[in-house]
Structures are given as structure tokens and as C-alpha cells.
Amino acid sequence: MKKRFALMGMLATTSLALFTSPALSFAQARVGQLGNGGPFQERSGLSSWIAQANWSTYQGANGRYEVQFPQQPRRQSITISMDSENMDLTMTMLIHEDPGNNIVLMSASAPLASPPGMTINPERRLDRGRDGAVAWMNATIHQEDRITVQGFPARSLVVSTPNQLRFQYVFIIDADNAMLYQLMVGGLSVEHLNSPDARRFFNSFNIR
């Protein structure tokens, strides 16, 4: 169980790196089913797995966004060399890990790599991130929804990995400011993704 939980954190960290990469192979991506429902709707009666937690609002890097966590999250920054763009990309994350309930919550932001003078195509970036993350994780998409968050184009994905980890991702593109935002809930069952606490986390997100 601990090994699977550690893997959740690793996948959460790496998926953002894949999302922001300008060149990826999508050959392994597998789309199982496209859904039309909202990304945060309740689909089960699972009781709150952190109901007694002291939820507080935390700000992401440079105060660009805010989101609630049940405990103070761990802050982590990773710098990735973007060889094709001749630049480094720094992404910053807030991560809450709950080994007792096998849950990971993560928010992240990163500047979008783009050559000077090139216009960012939000839907193309969202497609690229979806395919790259799914291919790297060898995951199956169970639901994909094109949504907006505060008026920004976004994508919600519910996926599973071969070892039965479950993730819901929400990717958000602010093309005018060349920024990517990501929210993620990961667990061992789909019920964790549909819990009131997962919805609270997603719905608390606010771009400042």
C-alpha cells in the first residue's frame, strides 16, 4: 500500500512536466470513454475522508492563485530543461499527502513554454497535455470534459493506471499570461474522487 501511495505522488509530480513539454509522443494514449457531465458532480455517497480537518486557504507561487487544503501543504519546485526551446521551465506545486486514507491533493502552476511571437492555442495545449500524461502513465481515460474555469479554457480528466490508481485532473490555460494551472486528486478508488472533500478542494480554486 505504501508503495502505491508513493507512486501517486510521483505521477502527480511528473504529469505536470509532461503537460508543459512542447514535444511529446502520443502513440500510447488510450481514450476509453468521453463524458459530458460536470467535473465536480457527486457520484457516490462516500463519507468525508477528512471531515474533521482544519481547511485553510493557501496561495500558489507569486500569489497567482489560491486553493484550500485540509492541512498545510508541502511546497515543491522543479526546474525542467526544455532543450527544444533552449530554456528552463520552473513549476511550483502545493501537495497534501494523506497516507492513512491513500489520498493525494495537488495544485500547481507553471509558465507555458512558447517561442517568442508564437500565439498559444489553449485547446491544442490541453490536448497535448492530456495525451502526454496518459501515454507516460499508460493510463486509461474514463471521462473527459471540456470546461471553463473562471472563463479560462480547461479540461477535466478522470483516469486510471494499470495498478488501479485513480486520478482526476483539471488543467487550466491562461493564454494571455502564458500560464498553466493544474489541480489533481488521486486515490485508490473512484469514490475518493467523488467525495465532498474532493469537490471542496476543486471548487476552492481561484485565480487571483
pLDDT for position 12: 52
- The residue whose grid cell reads 490508481 is 165
Which of 110, 103, 38 has its CA nearest to residue 69? 103
Let me know: does 77 contact 90? Beta carbons within 8 Å. yes
Which of 180, 128, 133 has its CA nearest to residue 158? 133
C-alpha cell at position 168: 482526476
Sorted by where each starts, the structural domains of the chain and their CATH numbers stand as 2-207 (3.40.1000.10)
Which of 16, 31, 44, 1 has its CA nearest to residue 164? 1
Per-residue pLDDT tens, the chain, 208 aa: give them: 544 544 444 445 444 443 444 333 222 333 333 333 333 333 333 334 445 568 999 999 889 999 999 999 999 987 765 544 455 667 789 999 887 777 889 999 988 876 667 788 999 888 877 887 788 788 999 999 999 999 999 999 999 988 888 999 999 999 999 898 999 999 888 888 888 888 899 999 999 8
pLDDT for position 143: 92
pLDDT for position 28: 30
Neighbours of 149 (CB within 10 A): 21
Neighbours of 208 (CB within 10 A): 9
Q: What are phi and psi of 16, to 5 degrees?
A: -70, -35
Residues 6 or more apart whose Cβ sits within 8 Å of residue 43? 190, 194
pLDDT for position 44: 33
Residues 6 or more apart whose Cβ sits within 8 Å of residue 187? 8, 101, 102, 103, 104, 165, 166, 193
What are the C-alpha distances in Å from 15 to residues 43, 49, 59, 93, 170?
25, 25, 21, 12, 12
Residues 6 or more apart whose Cβ sits within 8 Å of residue 126? 153, 154, 155, 171, 173
Let me know: does 68 contact 50? Beta carbons within 8 Å. no
pLDDT for position 53: 62
pLDDT for position 207: 94
